[in-house]
Amino acid sequence: MIEIIPAIDIIDGKCVRLTQGDYAQSTIYSSSPVEIAKQFEDQGIKRLHIVDLDGARLGKLVNTKSLHQIASQTKLIIDFGGGIKHDEDVQQVFDNGAALINIGSIAYKDPARVLGWAVQYGWDKIFLGCDVKDNKIMINGWKEQTNVNIIEYIGSFYSKGMRQLFCTDVTKDGMLQGPSIQLYKDIIAAYPSIQLTASGGATSLQDIDDLESIGCSGVIVGKAIYEGHIKIEELKKYMN
């Protein structure tokens, strides 16, 4: 059964969504992320994906207060990322109630540090994020495209024990045009035991069914929920 993971992106303590990672194209959906999280939990959701967009932009943790509020007022299993760069950042995120850290650019820039975190905390505490455009890894808030192929990149961590990751096709995120099925097929074909969570583009129950059918273990859903394309009540069939 595919796991539904709603996303809460936070700027200035508010729940927002960006279009293709563009801070100039942000929509505020709620001034209270904790209330949104409670609504998700009330509907049977178990997991939550939180991104500190201020932290991601500034390169340091900013919205840990929101994380603490959500973690202390719900029983949601939270992965949190955005601005995690240093060892003390990881500990701070865990101390504020996250079950996992989600990390992106730091894994590309400083893989040795991330491998150190895996040794210290275990890979089950790390949710590796891979942002992709034209099968190449994107970093720095989707502003810079590397020449590193996504399949090879995943392999560099897979060989060290990583088994859970989420992958975002940046051309799909926030566009409500459906997910990158072929990209996810290719990743699963290369690494059959990977626990792959699709991120970006899922707009309908059919999209979720399609992702489940190819072997994705989870799907992160954001804008489609906030704008009513997918209703939480409709997602109950995917919940245990």
Given pLDDT bands bounded at 50, 70 and 90, which one contains residue 54? very high
The per-residue pLDDT of the chain, averaged, comes to 94
Task: Provide the strand spans (E) within 64-173.
Answer: 77-81, 100-103, 126-133, 136-139, 144-149, 164-169
How many Cβ atoms sit within 10 Å of the Cβ of residue 186? 14
131 is catalytic: yes
β-strand pairing of 3-11 with 14-19 = antiparallel
What would the pLDDT profile of 205-238 be if each residue is shown by its tens digit? 999 999 999 999 999 999 999 999 999 999 999 9
Rounded average pLDDT over 95-120: 97
Residues 145, 132: Cα–Cα separation, whole Å: 8
Residues 88, 5: Cα–Cα separation, whole Å: 26
Residue 173 has pLDDT above 90, yes or no: no
Residues 33, 10: Cα–Cα separation, whole Å: 8
Residues 111, 153: Cα–Cα separation, whole Å: 11
What would the pLDDT profile of 27-43 be if each residue is shown by its tens digit? 999 999 999 999 999 99
**Three-class SS state of 229:** coil
Residues 3, 53: Cα–Cα separation, whole Å: 24
Residue 70 has pLDDT above 70, yes or no: yes
Helix (H) or strand (E) holding 52: strand 47-52
Residues 193, 34: Cα–Cα separation, whole Å: 34
Pick from 115, 191, 218, 215: which is nearest to 157 by CA?
Answer: 115
Residues 92, 23: Cα–Cα separation, whole Å: 25
9 is catalytic: yes
Which residue among the candidates 79, 131, 169, 173 is catalytic per the annotation? Answer: 131
- At residue 45, φ and ψ (nearest 5 deg) are -70, 140
Residues 213, 1: Cα–Cα separation, whole Å: 10
Per CATH, the number for 3-238 is: 3.20.20.70
Given pLDDT bands bounded at 50, 70 and 90, which one contains residue 144? confident
